[in-house]
Amino acid sequence: MLMALFHILIFPGLLFLGVYGLIMAYLDRKIYARLQNRQGPPWFQPLADFLKLLGKETIVPELANKKAFPFLPVLALAAVTTAYLYIPLWSMSSLYPFEGDLIVILYLLTLPTLCFFLGGWYSGSVYAVLGSVRVITQLFSYEVPLFMALLTPALLANTWSLSGITQYYAAHPLYILINIPAFIVAVIACQGKLERVPFDLPEAETELAGGTFVEYGGRLYAIFKMAIDCELVVVASLIAAVFLPFYTGNPWADFGLYIVKTIVILFIFALFRTIMARIRIEQMVAFCWKYLVPLALIQLIVNLLLKGVLA
Q: Using CB under 8 A as the criterion, which residues of the chain lie in contact with other proteins when the complex forms?
A: 35-38, 126-127, 130, 197-198, 200-201, 204-207, 209-210, 274-283
Q: How far, in Å, CA of 199 to CA of 191, rounded?
A: 6
Cα 113 from Cα 126, distance rounded (Å): 19
We find the least distance from the C-beta atom of residue 175 to other proteins, in angstroms, to be: 32
Q: Closest separation between CB of residue 217 and other proteins, Å?
A: 15
Pick the closer one to other proteins by CB: 164 or 202.
202
177, 96 contact by CB (below 8 A)? no
Judged by CB, which is closer to other proteins: 99, or 205? Answer: 205
Nearer to other proteins, 92 or 194 (CB): 194
Cβ nearer to other proteins, comparing 36 with 248: 36
Write 74-79 long-range contacts (CB < 8 A, 24+). 74/223, 75/111, 75/115, 76/111, 76/112, 76/115, 76/116, 76/223, 76/224, 76/227, 77/223, 77/224, 77/226, 77/227, 77/230, 79/108, 79/109, 79/111, 79/112, 79/115
Closer Cβ to other proteins, 1 or 277, answer by number: 277
d(CA 301, CA 307): 10
* Closest separation in Å from C-beta 295 to other proteins: 17
> Shortest distance, CB of residue 278 to other proteins, whole angstroms?
3
Report in angstroms how near the CB of residue 29 gets to other proteins at its nearest: 12
Amino acid letter, 117: F
Distance CA(265)–CA(261), nearest Å, equals 6
